[in-house]
Amino acid sequence: MNQFKTLIMLAVMTALFMGVGLMLGGRMGMLLALVVAAGMNLFTYWNADKIVLRMHNARQVDARSAPEFYGLVERLAAKAQLPMPKVYIVDSPHPNAFATGRNPENAAVAATSGLLEILNRDEVEGVMAHELAHVRNRDTLIMTMTATIAGAISMLASYGYFFRGGGGRAGLAALVAVFLAPFAAMIVQMAISRTREYGADRGGAEISGKPGALASALAKLANGASRVHNPVVERNPAAAQLYIVPAVFGRARSLFSTHPDTGDRIARLNKMAAVTDGSDFGPGGTDDRLGGEGRRSGSALDPHGRGR
């Protein structure tokens, strides 16, 4: 049912794109918008992972360069019965994580160095299990395609605002479309992302077996993300839905956030934890931080690569 709803929402976004094209350029503009939307979807299908990873300047790691972090993802992928994804670290103080790729066979997961520095081992495990749940649910392609189309609608609307012509009712209709289309695209994008975040929380808790640790990680990440700028989202706001927590600087909370309320997500995970043996996944867990342990032992797990 979720897959069906998502396809309907993507169709709505494509229709919005075509509608803006119709308002700005008539039937020819609508057809051109349809061709562009189809081309963007095809391009995103084959290049989703490359687009996102290049956007973040992510560096790939393996069992030799980051043995503990890579091994953690490897164990979780095996538990989830998924092919081993490519593993990346983003050298950024902004604490967050994301998954990308067109399918489980071509997936990649990434965490920032800021995340590895503030979370303990159980919490990192919960976060990466959440990202693998996105991969298992095939959310990664959908989220990237949605972000791409939403960004294109906003760009087309901005173009129409500055270069619109004509007057009368047609001009007024074009002006209304210019302002309403990005708003409508944002609502659809928000609905897709919120539904999938709840599903990935549930799936991540099942994969890791540690819903309490994931809840603890969400609290730390939401607090950390509100204190540290994310230049990627500042350049491209449509990328905000890719992360495990909102990449919002400051304390303001948007009614139109692409993520569900973090407090509600934590409450749901704590309910899952309450019916499971708390000794397995308490938020305290082990105190070892992956980045910190790398520095103590001199291993390559240090997210900044100082151990190498």
Amino acid at 252: A
Distance from C-alpha of 37 to C-alpha of 14, rounded to nearest angstrom: 7
Neighbours of 260 (CB within 10 A): 18
Which residues lie closer than 8 Å to 226 by C-beta, 6 or more apart? Answer: 248, 249, 250, 251
Tell the residue number behind the tokens 């609905």, with chain if given. Answer: 191
Distance from C-alpha of 9 to C-alpha of 188, rounded to nearest angstrom: 6
Which residues lie closer than 8 Å to 120 by C-beta, 6 or more apart? Answer: 284, 285, 286, 287, 288, 289
Please give the structure tokens belonging to residue 9. 């929402």
| Among 68, 131, 197, 293, the one annotated catalytic | 131
Instruction: Count Cβ atoms within 10 A of the Cβ of residue 32 and give its class: 0-12 exposed, 13-18 middle, 19 or more buried.
Output: middle
Q: Is there a contact between 66 and 128 (Cβ–Cβ < 8 Å)? A: no
Q: Where are the beta strands (DSSP E) in the chain?
A: 59-61, 86-90, 97-100, 108-112
Identify the bridge partners of residue 240 per DSSP, sorted by sequence position. none
Q: Is there a contact between 152 and 36 (Cβ–Cβ < 8 Å)? A: yes
Is 131 noted as a catalytic residue in this protein?
A: yes
CA distances from 152 to 37, 148, 159, 185, 186 (A): 9, 6, 10, 10, 12
Amino acid at 234: E
Q: CA gyration radius for the chain?
A: 21
Please give the structure tokens belonging to residue 25. 């350029």
Active site residues: 131
